[in-house]
Amino acid sequence: MSIDDIRAAAVALVGIVVRTPLLPFGPPLAGDARGRPRAYLKPENLQSIGAFKLRGAYHTLASLSAEERARGVVTHSSGNHAQGVARAARLLGIRAVIVMPDDAPSVKVAGVRADGGEIDVVGRAGEDRIRRADELAARDGLVLIPSYDDPRIIAGQGTAGLEIAEQLLELGYATGPATVLVPIGGGGLSSGVATAVRALRPDATILGVEPELAADARDSLREGRVVRWDPALTARTSADGMRASSLGALTFAHLRARLDGVVTVSEAEIARAMVRAARGARLVLEPSGATALAAWLFHAAELPTDGPVVALLSGGNVDPDAYAGLMAAGVAAGG
């Protein structure tokens, strides 16, 4: 995908998604006349569905032909992509069937139902969701909507990176070093953001962030091939939106060409970042949404030392009881 593809997606998304701001985070840098800090947060949890996924889902569904729209769509997701497809389908008048695992967060299930999505529940393994979605597509003639390994999805998610580049310019960072931290699940968001930022800020450092318990992208980029983690391993992380067992062929190719590296964060660091987001930015984050902030807070030694740092916060859809438990864990770990 190219910057032109992402710009075209941005046009399609006008009025559909929020141009989320870059929120200053932390104290002003000494001597900065504008009071600018080192770090900024891009809160995609402020999207109407509580996560970035509406960008790629709407762009993909809007690109369908009239015949495809009439057939309806099916997808598989543990939550945020499910909500994105359900919302996009509602806006476009398309039937949507969503295959979800039986342990999907209830807040995400409720969001899908509220937008009229028809939920088909399967087991927790990602392979079960993929197989069931394929079966429904074949049986009912539904159009299969991938969750990340699709050029339309990548272009739509990349609009967040386009905004970051534009907003850095607006903040006065026209040139010079900058660092962008972006979560990696299946790689759709990170591929799109890396594509946009690399095209518009070739001097920027773009780093993916993964939980230590689901670091398949780190291993893939290190070995130069797609490395698959067993679902039983990735299921251990609290970041349910980042439990993909592997990158896709397209996302691996994009990240291998455009990403500078991967930072991994621990479960305690994720919980502590959720606490810091609530206290320091008044933001409610789900674990997946807190990973990039955790990289900034606890892995500064792995980041460039100069220029602004942007942490993309991917979502805030978390069940209240789970949120309370994670916040308590984060406080106990040092806040």
Domains of the chain: 3-51+151-332 (3.40.50.1100), 54-144 (3.40.50.1100)
Could you give the CA distance from residue 232 to residue 94 in angstroms, rounded to a whole number?
34
pTM: predicted TM-score of the whole model, two decimal places? 0.96
Lowest mean pLDDT among 128-137, 247-256, 287-296: 128-137
Report yes or no: 173 and 307 within 8 Å, Cβ to Cβ.
yes
Q: What letter does residue 333 receive in the DSSP assignment?
A: T
Express each pLDDT in 100-119 by its tens digit.
988 888 888 999 999 999 99
Judged by average pLDDT, the poorest of 72-86, 159-173, 194-208, 250-264 is 72-86
Read off the pLDDT band of 78 (50, 70, 90): confident
Give the sheet arrangement for strand 309-313, strand by strand: 23-25, 39-43, 309-313, 179-183, 205-211, 261-265
Tell which residue, 67, 93, 96, 72, has the closest CA to residue 84.
96
Per-residue pLDDT reduced to its tens digit, 196-241: 999 999 999 999 999 999 999 999 999 999 999 998 999 999 999 9
Please report, rounded to a whole number, the percentage of residues in the chain having pLDDT higher than 70.
99
Q: How confident is the model at residue 168 (pLDDT cuts 50, 70, 90)?
A: very high
Tokens, residue 326: 């994670």
Burial label for 66, CB within 10 Å (0-12, 13-18, 19+), is exposed
CA distance 225 to 281: 38
In the prediction, which pLDDT does 79 show? 82
**284: Cβ contacts below 8 Å, ≥ 6 apart:** 45, 277, 278, 316, 318, 323
312 bridge partner residues: 42
- Is 314 labeled as catalytic in the residue annotation? yes
Task: Write down the pLDDT at residue 126.
Answer: 65
CA distances from 333 to 108, 269, 273 (A): 27, 8, 11
Dist CA 209 CA 292 (whole Å): 6
Q: Which residues face 40 on adjacent strands? A: 24, 310
288 counts as catalytic: no
Q: Rounded to the nearest 10 degrees, what angle do helices 188-200 and 249-258 cross at?
A: 30
Catalytic residue, from 78, 147, 190, 314: name it.
Answer: 314
Q: In 3-state terms, what secondary structure has residue 276?
A: helix
Q: Which is the catalytic residue, given 42, 53, 246, 288? A: 53
Average pLDDT over residues 121-137: 83
Q: How far apart are CA 247 and CA 225, in angstroms?
A: 10
